[in-house]
Structure formats: C-alpha cells, structure tokens
Amino acid sequence: MVSICRYNHVFTCWPSTPGTHPHRCPAASAWVSILVPTRNRLSFIIPSAICSTAFRPIPTGIAAGVTVPCPASPRWRRLLDIPARPPLPGCPPVTDFDPAVAAAELLTVRDFLRYGVSRFNAAGLVHGHGVTTAHDEAAFLVLETLKLPVDRLDPYLDARLTTPERKAVADIIDARVRTRKPAAYLTKRTYIQGVPFYVDERVIVPRSYIGELLFGDLFGGDGFTLVEDPTEVEHVLDLCTGSGCLAILAAQVFPNAKVDAVDLSAEALEVARINVADHGLEDRVTLFQGDLFAPLKGRKYDVIITNPPYVSDESMAELPPEYRHEPAMALAGGGVEGLDIVRKILKQAPKYLTPEGGLLCEFGTGREALDAMYPDGEFLWLETADSFGEVFWLTREQLTEL
C-alpha cells in the first residue's frame, strides 16, 4: 500500500504489480509524476475518482527519487482514464470561511490549530516547504505568529489568545489558503535544524537535506565520516546559496572555515546578506554573484556543498501553486531530466577542490538519471531521516574520473 498525492490530497492506493519500478515508468508518463522537493514526498497527479479522501503521509522507506511501488496494473490504467474531478467534492468553498468569525469564536491555541487543519484540508493545500502535513503547517503558523517556539506545541495547546492575537492567527491561516503561499513566506521565517532564517519570495524556502547531513555524524562523528575533523576545514563553498542557509550552517559545522557562497540571483543574495548579518557571520561568509564557479577564479575549497536547481522541465510545468511562488530560477535544473546545472557543477568542481576535497550535492529524485549519465560514477548516496539517495558525495578524485 502506498499513499500518493494529487497536489494537496494524499490518497491511498493498492499497486498490484509486484516489486518496484523506477518512477519514470510508462504509467508515470500517463499520470504525470511530480517531484515535491521536500522531505519524503513523491507526489503524483492522479484522477481523484480513484482516491479515498484520507490524508496520509507516504510511509517511511518510500523515498522520492529512488524507486517507488508503481501502480502500473491494468486496473490502474483503466482507472487513470477517468477524468479528474475538482478536489474534495462536498467541501465548502474557501470563501465560506470568514477569518473574522474564527477570530471572534475561537479561543485557544488548540482551537486555532484545529481550525487551521480544517481549512487547509478543505482547501487542499500542498505541504512541502519544511513540513509535510496540514497539522504541522498549522502548528508552525500558529506558533510562529504567536512568537512561541515552533517545536513546542504541547505546553501551549490550552493557552487562550488575546483579541489581537486571535485576529493575527486567523488572518495568517486565511492568507495561507487564499494566496497558496508557503507558510514561510507569510511568516518571513523558517528553520533548518532549529536554526532560524529570514525568507521571502526572493529565495526558495530552505528545506535542503544537506542541513541534516551537515549536523550529523558524517562531519566529525565517531564512525564513518566524510570529514574526519571539521575544525581542520579552512575553506568551504556553498554553490547556489539562495538564502545563505547552508553557508551559515556550514560556518557552524566548520568553525575555523571561511565560507564563500555564490548565487546567480542578485535578489537572492540580498536575502542571504540579511541572514549572514542576522547570524553575525559577515567576517566568515562572503557572498558572490555569478554563474556557478565563475566568480571564484583561482580559489580552492576543502568542501563544496550545493543544493542546485534540479527540477526537470516536465515537473516545472506541473508544479502545484505553492511552488509557483518560488523563483523559477531556484527550481529549474534545465533540460528534460533537470540535469543541466548539476552536469556543469560536476565538470567544473575538481578545479575548485583541494586534493583531499569533496563535493556534497543534493539532487532530489534524479538519482537514476545521474547514474545513467555517469554509469561509472562512484556516487556515495546518503540517507537522511526522510530521504534516501537524494544527496551524494564525491571526492575530488572521483569527480575527475567521471
């Protein structure tokens, strides 16, 4: 049994074909597959007629980008011919909810959490920007708006809100539904590994798996490591830095390193500048505008981290509304497979790495495409709590042999 998502609706289906198939299988082209570039989610558009209305997460272990159970049976194919219906028939239209009524009648954090989940479910939102469920997104919006710790819901559930607080929370829940903007764009804040970052529409909402990997055992842990002693790392590059989030996390993980961070977008770098200043890292994190390595002539790095754009042209055309608020330049990897930018990075990286250096790169669900393009490549695909094989590590030596 696997749960899949039609934009915002998560459904349950029963694939009858045994084994697993690459997601780019014949059936997938019939019912377009969509990468939702966030934790543990691979979504497909499927006709709603074949779906239950249960909202369920994709079970752990079905990671986007590797292989997924593929509902390619004749039964599925027949069902897939059924035209799609509007989401969740029977639900009241969005306009039937009045935030002023919510502000007047609801009292506690629990009330607003419940209200948020109801509204998000009814409107069929997509939750892919640092959260994966309507509950988590409602909790984030309520807690962040009330300036409470976003990871501590329980102590506040029964706390009552003041009148201005009730209005603020009702309004932001309403804005999330009306605008379809990711919550972080409404609160202007998001967190990776508990570290806060300013965000707005000039950058993609930070959600890279690289954050978790940087803070894990691979960098200075007791067992297998990519970098044995992070204190010895002197130069780090964050390519495609966006909000600067990974450069800032890298500065924490490699306490003695200077970190360079590059982005093509001048607007993104304005946001990165805010974050670098907020974290007091102006003396250690340097921002560059330019195309990949172009502004870095002659520099060498011990570690390069990068979460480049990697969404394929096909997936770009099918993105849910939430993702359309993000800069296209931050998502579109170029080409049918979304591989164009990553290919350039792989080609140029060796020149910018020290002999012992390595590249940590997120590539989402494109693992098969990359493996096909570099059949002899010794990609070390890494796991996180919610992903498998979406980030790889290559040493300089391995890069030169590609």
Ligand X SMILES: C[S@@+](CC[C@H](N)C(=O)[O-])C[C@H]1O[C@@H](n2cnc3c(N)ncnc32)[C@H](O)[C@@H]1O
Tokens read off for 223: 């067992």
Q: Is 355 helix (H, G, I), strand (E, B) or coil?
A: strand
* 281 sits near ligand X (criterion: CB under 6 A): no
* 222-241 positions binding ligand X, by CB under 6 A: 240-241
* 182 sits near ligand X (criterion: CB under 6 A): no
Tokens read off for 346: 């792989």
Residue of the chain from 80, 195, 264, 281 that contacts ligand X (CB under 6 A):
264
Let me know: does 396 contact 377? Beta carbons within 8 Å.
Answer: no
Judged by beta carbon, residue 166 or residue 181, the one nearer ligand X is 181
* 208 sits near ligand X (criterion: CB under 6 A): yes
Judged by beta carbon, residue 124 or residue 242, the one nearer ligand X is 242
* 391 sits near ligand X (criterion: CB under 6 A): no
| Closest residue to ligand X in the complex (CB) | 242
Q: Is 3 helix (H, G, I), strand (E, B) or coil?
A: strand
* 204 sits near ligand X (criterion: CB under 6 A): yes
* 291 sits near ligand X (criterion: CB under 6 A): yes
* 248 sits near ligand X (criterion: CB under 6 A): no
* Residue window 322-341: x/- pattern of binding to ligand X, with contact defined by CB under 6 A: -------xx----------x
Residue of the chain from 308, 350, 364, 389 that contacts ligand X (CB under 6 A):
308
CA distances from 89 to 11, 92, 123, 374 (A): 14, 9, 11, 46
Judged by beta carbon, residue 43 or residue 275, the one nearer ligand X is 275
* Least gap, CB of 112 to ligand X (angstroms): 29
Let me know: does 244 contact 280? Beta carbons within 8 Å.
Answer: no
* 268 sits near ligand X (criterion: CB under 6 A): yes
* 130 sits near ligand X (criterion: CB under 6 A): no
* 361 sits near ligand X (criterion: CB under 6 A): no
What b/e sequence results for 284-305 when a residue is b if at least 16 CB atoms lie within 10 Å of its CB, and e otherwise?
bbebbeeebbeebeeeebbbbb
Which DSSP string do the residues of 110-161 spell out, in sequence order?
A: HHHHHHHHHHHHHHT----SS--SHHHHHHHHHHHHTT--TT--GGGTTPBP
* 253 sits near ligand X (criterion: CB under 6 A): no
User: Dihedral through CA 215, CA 219, CA 223, CA 229, nearest 10?
Assistant: -140
Footprint of ligand X on this chain (CB under 6 A)? 203-204, 206, 208, 240-243, 245-246, 262-265, 268, 291-292, 307-309, 329-330, 341
